[in-house]
Amino acid sequence: MKPSEVRIGKAIAPAVEALGLELWGIEQLRHGRRVTLRVFIDCLSGVTIDDCERVSRQVSAILDVEDPIQGEYTLEVSSPGIDRPLFTLPQFERYLGVEANVRLRVPVDGRRRFRGVIEKVMADKVALLVEGRTVEMLHADIERAGLAPPAPSNDNARTAKSRPGKRRDSKTKGSKRVKTR
């Protein structure tokens, strides 16, 4: 995490925890002059919209006093979701054996992007099993990481044949139906 994200996290974590929630992580994104602050919260029983609203009010009040972001910003509060981002080593450890996507600041073996199974977490490193081999990366070099979304199962996958819409077959030309005998 960036130093500004760490500072903001330290400032808001007690308020989030006082609401019975876990501060999962923070992302501060810049798009030109615009800043978006994403706050991810988690809870064993799941995160509700009411939880997000309560955290948003608390965090807004703290940020108004602390003023860690210069100028205007947009605050987004949400659950980490199914493809949850991973910020800390304990979060990686919690998901040992699960597939993740990792983007590095510094290339390892000539690559910056990896998709693999979280195999091991060490004092300052994460090891992924990528294409049959273990790749170790420094946690400090990870720019962004998150759980890989599950591939759709064949039961739920929609194919071209099962898509709703106009049916075309050998008896159909354009949108007109042709009678055949």
Last-in-domain residue among 78, 99, 132? 78
Tell whether the model's pLDDT for residue 148 goes beyond 80: yes
What one-letter code names the amino acid at 57? R
Q: Is residue 161 part of a domain?
A: no
Here the tokens at position 40 are 């991810």
pLDDT of residue 33: 85
Q: Do 64 and 120 fall within a single domain? A: no
Among 53-57, 63-67, 120-124, 157-161, where is mean pLDDT lowest? 157-161
Rounded Cα distance, 65 and 68, in Å? 9
Calculate the alpha carbon distances from 26 to 37, 56, 77, 101, 169 in Å: 7, 13, 9, 18, 52
Last-in-domain residue among 78, 107, 136? 78
pLDDT of residue 112: 98
Q: Is residue 138 part of a domain?
A: yes
Q: Do 112 and 56 fall within a single domain? A: no
The pLDDT tens digits for 90-120 are 999 999 999 999 999 999 999 999 999 999 9
β-pair partners for 23: 41
Q: Residue 136: which CATH number?
A: 2.30.30.180
Here the tokens at position 4 are 């500004």
Print the domain residue range for 9: 3-78
Tell whether the model's pLDDT for residue 42 goes beyond 90: yes
Structural domain count of the chain = 2
Q: Is residue 164 part of a domain?
A: no
Q: Do 69 and 105 fall within a single domain? A: no
What is the arithmetic mean of pLDDT over 42-57? 96
